[in-house]
């Protein structure tokens, strides 16, 4: 079974990266929520776009839930490029969020379980589209190191042991 793969070239629609970046720049700092599991992450923040009952006011609103409980958040309605991208995926939507790792931040080793689990065997997938990235951001999935490029669509099997880290990049003259 795949650990990860780049699906971008199979998409029947474009990813409007510049429009997504413009909307991302408009988001206020107070829109970002700390991750709900502070023992798992440091400097990992998110903005829910689809959440349980459309809630986006605290860390718990980021947890995954059954599809029938998921709704778009108020903020999602204010982001036309993000909304159009979500509309392009003609399937049930689970938890969808914009996430970021601050420099030096990380997500400790873990496997996704319960409503968090998403892999082909469970007929659910978790997809990532980096909008902005940095050469110092890496994921390790089942021992394999990967970097995701901006504007690409990735499937990642997060039922495998995984973690992420944003290494600080020191510029030397």
- Please give the pLDDT value at position 173: 37
Give the separation between CA 122 and CA 173, rounded to whole angstroms. 49
Structural domains of the chain, with CATH: 4-166 (2.60.120.330)
- Please give the pLDDT value at position 168: 57
Give the separation between CA 161 and CA 137, rounded to whole angstroms. 17
Per-residue pLDDT tens, the chain, 173 aa: give them: 578 999 999 999 999 999 999 999 999 888 898 888 878 888 888 999 999 999 998 877 888 888 899 999 999 999 999 999 999 999 999 999 999 888 888 888 988 877 777 766 767 788 999 999 988 888 999 999 999 999 999 999 888 999 888 765 544 43
By C-alpha distance, which of 74, 72, 102, 66 is closest to 85? 72
- Please give the pLDDT value at position 170: 47
Q: Are 162 and 104 in contact (CB under 8 A)?
A: no
- Please give the pLDDT value at position 104: 81
């Amino acid at each position: 079974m795949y650990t990860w793969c780049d699906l971008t070239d199979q998409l029947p629609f474009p990813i409007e990266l510049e429009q997504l970046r413009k909307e991302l720049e408009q988001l206020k700092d107070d829109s970002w929520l700390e991750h709900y599991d502070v023992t798992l992450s440091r400097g990992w923040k998110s903005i829910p776009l689809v959440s349980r009952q459309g809630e986006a006011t605290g860390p718990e609103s980021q947890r995954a839930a059954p599809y029938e409980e998921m709704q778009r958040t108020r903020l999602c309605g204010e982001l036309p490029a993000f909304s159009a991208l979500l509309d392009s995926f003609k399937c049930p939507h689970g938890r969808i969020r914009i996430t970021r790792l601050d420099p030096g931040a990380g997500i400790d080793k873990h496997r996704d379980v319960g409503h968090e689990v998403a892999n082909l065997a469970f007929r659910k997938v978790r997809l990532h589209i980096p909008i902005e990235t940095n050469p110092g951001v890496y994921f390790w999935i089942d021992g394999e190191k990967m970097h995701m490029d901006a504007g690409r669509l990735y499937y990642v099997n997060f039922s495998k042991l995984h973690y992420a880290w944003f290494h600080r990049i020191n510029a030397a003259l």
